Structure 1
């Protein structure tokens, strides 16, 4: 039995006051196990971004509990949240969020430095991850000197270099063209299968979602449906995703 790394236990998130309450998350529960690659999909306003934010400790729940690595993050003192986030979560953003004044190597190293990894160990850790993700030859370049796909692979390296419990990917292909998006998704698969990364990805894109192993569909703050790829081909899984999106009433015009 694989280790449960993330447990979402009857969480709710309300906005507004008692006369005008919006339920962004309405009693959601699920678990994520070590080595899973899970996609979260839903139309705008379905609650998927709010879900990502409360798991990331960027926002707080109104009720319920979230356990990450066995620790209840809803009970962590605000002063300790930043450190907990750095040690347990990796992030891949749509806009890369790389520091333009640092080389790719320095961008990756920085993630280790703020986690107080001994300086002597950093170059070896960076080289290992860079080799795995195919960016070793461009580590001395700055973000402005490389392609969008290379920037995103650097962002992936930075996200995984500290070996977090879960990597959170927020619309990671949203700023990429089709070719770069495919390369990134193949990179995420490599991270998941070769580096044993546990990934939770929020996306509106059926093409990106078809690379995941399990997908949760949200509607009106609730889990509307869940599908598992299993032994299906990616093409078959893509078709199944489109079928559920049709049931959801989603806009398929954005699908690659």
Structure 2
């Protein structure tokens, strides 16, 4: 299998010698092409710091992060923005859409920045909008559509550049139960049909049950890993709940 993401013994410290906090403590794991991997853990466990390091928003204190065999710890500041645009897709809890741009323009933004030809942009936006069922709102602005539609727009924006890795930060966190279920089912479908590689941070056990495997982080370390394998989603959900209970239950367990 093709290895998309490889984390090698990364550590992240904050503060100084007299008052140092180790947010990430020697974490290593791999993510392969087409995998849907979840990251769970109590608040303050280090999962958001991990995502920030992988996304190049923050830098590790030690260790290495490879995406498509490129070592992110060796990328120069000038290269980071270009690398992020070409290799990473992002789905945020609060959508991060620009209200002054239409849904079409929000989805197309990364392609526009990369100076892709207009005909190609329009074609690719139409294709991804059709996949996500938002063709009829492309001319609307974010403030004119529902939360679920905004999040589908965010998914389309993440997919439009055919990124090597999609990073999702609590994608269902700002949605009601029905919209959240529709979105996670859609993300799961995209993962299977398009072989999109996804790493998702979530507090929600129901959302996590759609993943292929879950990494549980506690106190900056990997506490354990669950692999769905041949289990049903309901069986996997119950296994997730068991681990959550061991970690103190600091996640949402009921949908």
TM range (shorter): over 0.9
Q: CA deviation at 1:252?
A: 4.9
Task: Give the secondary-structure state (helix, strand or coil) at the position aligned to 1:175.
Answer: coil
| Residue 243 (structure 1) aligns with | 242
Residues 12-69 of structure 1: per-residue CA shift (max 9 Å, x gap): 0011112222110000000000000000000011000000000000000000000001
| Residue 162 (structure 1) aligns with | 161
Q: CA deviation at 1:120?
A: 2.1
Task: Give the secondary-structure state (helix, strand or coil) at the position aligned to 1:159.
Answer: helix
| Residue 208 (structure 1) aligns with | 207
Instruction: Provide structure 2 residue ranges, at least 5 long, that are not aligned to the other structure.
Output: none
| Residue 116 (structure 2) aligns with | 117
Bigger mean CA deviation after superposition, 181-190 or 243-252? 243-252
Separation (CA, whole Å) in 1 of partners of 2:39 and 2:142: 29
Q: CA deviation at 1:244?
A: 0.3
Whether contact under 8 Å (2:91, 2:168) holds in the other structure is yes
Question: CA 1:117–1:47 in structure 2 vs 1: closer, same or farther (change >3 Å)?
Answer: same
| Residue 171 (structure 1) aligns with | 170
TM-score (norm 1): 0.97
Q: CA deviation at 1:254?
A: 5.8
Task: Give the secondary-structure state (helix, strand or coil) at the position aligned to 2:244.
Answer: helix
Q: CA deviation at 1:255?
A: 3.8
Kindly indicate whether residue 238 of structure 2 is the aligned counterpart of residue 231 of structure 1.
Answer: no
Separation (CA, whole Å) in 2 of partners of 1:115 and 1:39: 30
Separation (CA, whole Å) in 1 of partners of 2:198 and 2:252: 26
Structure-to-structure mapping, 1:48-127, within 5 angstroms: 48-127=47-126
| Residue 28 (structure 2) aligns with | 29
Separation (CA, whole Å) in 1 of partners of 2:115 and 2:64: 29
Q: CA deviation at 1:202?
A: 0.3
- Paired residue total: 255
Separation (CA, whole Å) in 2 of partners of 1:116 and 1:52: 28
Whether contact under 8 Å (1:42, 1:250) holds in the other structure is no
Q: CA deviation at 1:250?
A: 2.4
Question: CA 1:200–1:252 in structure 2 vs 1: closer, same or farther (change >3 Å)?
Answer: closer
Question: CA 1:139–1:217 in structure 2 vs 1: closer, same or farther (change >3 Å)?
Answer: same
Segments ≥4 residues shifted beyond 4 Å: none
